[in-house]
Every structure is written in structure tokens, then in C-alpha cells.
Amino acid sequence: MGEHRGVKFPREVLDRFSSLGVDLPSYFSAGHLGTRMGIEVVEAAPEKVVGTMPVEGNTQPYGLLHGGASAVLAETLGSVGAMLHGGPEKVAVGVDLNCTHHRGLSSGHVTGTATPVHRGRSTATYEIVITDESGRRVCSARLTCLLRDAPRPPATA
């Protein structure tokens, strides 16, 4: 396992992206929304993506973890897995997200783990299980991403 900016990547993933001249840390991101919500991806591979998110700052008016925050964590982790599966030649675009919320939380952190259900040439589906600090399931989610060809840089003269 190699590490970039605190995220553990399998060596073959790092090698695959760098061999094509792709700067993985700039290509790989939780995005602006994920950053504002405090999402931290701690492990990333096509077979498994793990990330955390604080409950504080991501609550609804009753003080409980917002279901939409769980959805953002789920889509972030599943999209990262799909992106790594597709490689630098593809862009992962979420097309379907389903979340079932099992329990409310008012404090602490949640951990999401995304594992593949299907990894094909044009789509990838991930199951994302979000748990509390005691390992109790908070949310079950499923994300399907379309794998589109990555835009090619303009030819130089």
C-alpha cells in the first residue's frame, strides 16, 4: 500500500495513474462539498473505499445526522471506487443513489465502507454501509455510476 495525502492506495493503483502522467492526488478528491462536510477518505481501492464524516455540522433541525449528509458520504465513497475501477481513461458519474436510514445520531463520527456489487465496462455499482462509532449500521446505500470516457486534452501543435 502506498499513501498520498493521508489516503492509502494499493501500489498498483498509484502505478497505473502515474504511468499515464495523471497526478492522483489532484484527480482524486472528495470535492468541495465533501470537504465542507468534513469527509475524509482514509483508504481507496477499486475493491474497497473507506471514509469518515463528523456528525457535528451535518445535522438536520432536530440535531440528528441529516439523511442527505449520509447520502453525500455514500455517493462520495462509491464514486471514488467507481473512478478507481474505471482508471484514468474513464470518468465516473453517479446515475442512481438509494439510501435507507436505520438510526439517528447526534454526535460522534460515522464511517462508510463502499464495496463493489458490479464492476463492468460501462457501469459500476457499489454498496455503501455507514456505521456509528460502535459499529452499528446507520445507513445502507447503493450507488450506480456510469463510466464515461475521460475528456482528452487538446492536441498540441
- Does 154 map to a domain? no
- Does 155 map to a domain? no
| pLDDT for the residue 5 | 54
Whether residue 153 has pLDDT greater than 70: no
In angstroms, the CA 89 to CA 111 distance is: 29
Q: Domain with 139 in it: what CATH number?
A: 3.10.129.10
Overall average pLDDT of the 105-130 stretch: 98
- Does 85 map to a domain? yes
pTM score, two decimals?
A: 0.86
As separate numbers, helices (DSSP H) first and strands (DSSP E) second, the chain gives 4, 8
- Does 125 map to a domain? yes
What does the pLDDT look like over 54-90, one tens digit per residue? 999 999 999 999 999 999 999 999 999 999 999 988 9
- Does 126 map to a domain? yes
In angstroms, the CA 110 to CA 121 distance is: 31
Residue with cell 455499482: 125
Q: Are 147 and 121 in contact (CB under 8 A)?
A: yes
In angstroms, the CA 143 to CA 136 distance is: 21
The whole domain housing 106 covers 2-149
- Does 157 map to a domain? no
- Does 69 map to a domain? yes
Q: What is the mean pLDDT of the chain?
A: 89
Cell of 114: 463502499
Higher model confidence: residue 132 or residue 22? 132
Residues serving a catalytic function are 75
Q: Are 141 and 78 in contact (CB under 8 A)?
A: yes
Share of residues in the chain with pLDDT > 90 (%) = 71
Q: How many domains is the chain built from?
A: 1
Q: Are 76 and 51 in contact (CB under 8 A)?
A: yes
Overall average pLDDT of the 81-106 stretch: 95
Backbone angles phi, psi at 144, to 5 degrees: -115, 130
What does the pLDDT look like over 8-35, one tens digit per residue? 778 887 777 777 777 665 555 667 898 8
